[in-house]
Amino acid sequence: MVRGRICGLSVRDVRFPTSLGGHGSDAMHTDPNYSAAYVILETDAGDGLKGYGITFTLGRGTEVVVCAVNALAHHVLSKDLRDIVGDFRGFYRQLTSDGQLRWIGPEKGAVHLATAAVLNAVWDLWAKQEGKDPRTLLSCIDFRYITDVLTEEEAFEILQKGQVGKKEREEQMLMHGYPAYTTSCAWLGYSDDTLKQLCTEALKDGWTRFKVKVGADLQDDIRRCRLIRDMIGPEKILMMDANQRWDVPEAVEWMSKLAEFKPLWIEEPTSPDDILGHATISKALVPLGIGVATGEQCHNRVIFKQLLQVKALQFLQIDSCRLGSVNENLSVLLMAKKFEIPVCPHAGGVGLCELVQHLIIFDFISVSASLKNRMCEYVDHLHEHFRYPVIIKKASYMPPKDAGYSTEMKTDSVQKHQYPDGDVWKKLLAAQGN
C-alpha cells in the first residue's frame, strides 16, 4: 500500500577524489572526481521508510545540480506519495515542464540530472512499499514525442509478451546473474604496468569482456590495445570508448587503425548530439565488423528515438541518472525492444551500477527476454559507500534482493565526502593550500 506525505527533501554534494588515482579518466575527462547529488525524501507515514535518490556528476558540476534539485523541490514537498504515483506520468511532466526551469532544459542538462535524482528517490520509496504490474509501469511513461515510433498500446503488447517465460528468466537471473563487462582495467590515465596488473587480476577473477579507453593519441591507443588484446587473447570480448573525442571522418579513420584489435564496439566516437554523424560512422564501420555504442550522455528519449530511427547505434547504453529516472528509461527499453537493438547500460561512476542493475535485469525478465549481445558495464569503485552494494559473481550481476532502488549511501560515507566540509575534503583542500 502506498502511503505518506513527503515532508522533507534534503540534497547533499558528495564527491570522491578519484582523480588522484586516475580512476575514471578518459580522453575528455582527464581528472574526474566521481560525485553525486544525493537526495533524501522523508514522509510522515511513520514507517521509517525514506527514499534515496542520486544522480552521477563530476566534481564542481555537482554544485549546479544541487541547486537544480533545490529548485525542483517544491514539486515534491507536501505531496502525497499516492497522488504522485497515482499519476506518475503527470508528475513526471510537471517536473520536466516547470515553466521557469524548462528554459534551461528542457529534459536535458543539469535540470534533467536533477529530475533524475529526485525521481530516483521517489522510485526508491515507492519500490519499498509495493510491486508493480505492466499497466502501472506504462502509466509512469511520458509518451509525448515518441508516439510516432511507440504507442502506449504497442508498449503494452511488448510487456504482455514479456510475461511469457518470465518465471524461468527470473530463476535464471537468480542462479547465474546478468552478464557484465569491466572498464576498471584500462582508464586512460593508467600506466601500462597498472593496466597489465589489473588485467591479470581481472582474468583471474573470471572476466571475459573488457573495455579500454581510447581517443587521445593514436600511437598510445595502438600500444595499449595491443597490450590488452595480447593479455586477454583472441576469443575474449574487447570494447573501446572514445568519450566524444573525434569528428566524424576522424572517428572512421582512427577506428580503421584500431580494427586489427577486433573491438566489438566503439563507444561515443563523436558528439553525443550528432545523430546523423553516428549513423555515418555506424555505416562506415560495418565492413570492419565494429558497432557503435552510445547513450551515457544522451539527453533524453527523443534523442534515443532518433538514434534508433536512423540506425545510428548497434548497442544502446541507457544511464540510470542521465535520463528522467525509471520513467524515461522504461520508454527507452521499450523502444530498443521494438527496434531490436540490444541494451548494454552505462554504469560505474558513483552508484550507477547499483541503480542500473535493476533496469537491465527488468529488461531481461520483462522486455527483451534475451541476453544476445547484451551485457552491463561494471566498474569496481566506490561500492563500499552504499548500504546495498552490487554483488558480482563470476563476472555477472547477481539480482538485488532488498526492496528499493539500492540508492542509499552510508551516512558516514556521505558525511566524510560531503563537499567542502567533509573530513576527506577538509584534509585535501588544506593540503592544496585552500
Query: Which residues make up the interface to ligand LFC (CB under 6 A)?
Result: 24, 26, 29, 32, 183, 241, 243, 296, 346, 348-349, 377
How far, CA to CA in Å, does 312 sit from each of 120, 152, 215, 292, 393?
Answer: 29, 24, 20, 7, 33
CB contact at 8 A, 341 and 313: yes
Cβ-closest position to ligand LFC: 24
Instruction: Provide the minimum distance between the beta carbon of 389 and ligand LFC in the complex, in angstroms, as a whole number.
Output: 18
Between residues 98 and 296, which has the closer beta carbon with respect to ligand LFC?
A: 296
In sequence order, the 6+-apart residues with CB closer than 8 A to the CB of 236 are 208, 209, 210
Reported as type and span, the H/E element at residue 51 is strand 50-58
Q: Give me the catalytic one of 79, 108, 211, 213.
A: 213
Stretch touching Mg ion by CB under 5 A, among 147-155, 161-169, 201-209, 238-246 = 238-246
Instruction: Provide the minimum distance between the beta carbon of 19 and ligand LFC in the complex, in angstroms, as a whole number.
Output: 10
Considering CB distances under 5 to 8 angstroms, the limit depending on partner class, which of Mg ion, ligand LFC, none binds residue 348? ligand LFC
Instruction: Provide the minimum distance between the beta carbon of 190 and Mg ion in the complex, in angstroms, as a whole number.
Output: 16
CA distance 15 to 27: 21
In sequence order, the 6+-apart residues with CB closer than 8 A to the CB of 395 are 179, 180, 181, 182, 205, 206, 207, 208, 209, 378
Between residues 53 and 349, which has the closer beta carbon with respect to ligand LFC?
A: 349
φ, ψ for residue 183, nearest 5 deg: -110, -5
Cβ-closest position to Mg ion: 241
Identity at 201, one-letter amino acid code = E
CA distance 48 to 4: 11
Q: Does 319 contact Mg ion by CB under 5 A?
A: no
Q: Does 377 contact Mg ion by CB under 5 A?
A: no
Q: Give me the catalytic one of 346, 358, 381, 417.
A: 346
Considering CB distances under 5 to 8 angstroms, the limit depending on partner class, which of ligand LFC, Mg ion, none binds residue 183? ligand LFC
Instruction: Provide the minimum distance between the beta carbon of 183 and ligand LFC in the complex, in angstroms, as a whole number.
Output: 5
Scan for cell 533545490, then name that residue: 70
Annotation marks residue 213 as catalytic: yes
Between residues 106 and 109, which has the closer beta carbon with respect to ligand LFC?
A: 109
Instruction: Provide the minimum distance between the beta carbon of 384 and ligand LFC in the complex, in angstroms, as a whole number.
Output: 18
Annotation marks residue 372 as catalytic: no
Stretch touching Mg ion by CB under 5 A, among 130-138, 230-238, 241-249, 408-416 = 241-249
Phi-psi category of residue 114: left, alpha or beta, with phi > 0 → left and psi -120 to 50 → alpha: alpha
Q: Does 241 contact Mg ion by CB under 5 A?
A: yes
CB contact at 8 A, 109 and 39: no
CB contact at 8 A, 26 and 188: yes
Residues with active-site annotation: 213, 346
Contact residues for Mg ion (CB under 5 A)? 241, 267
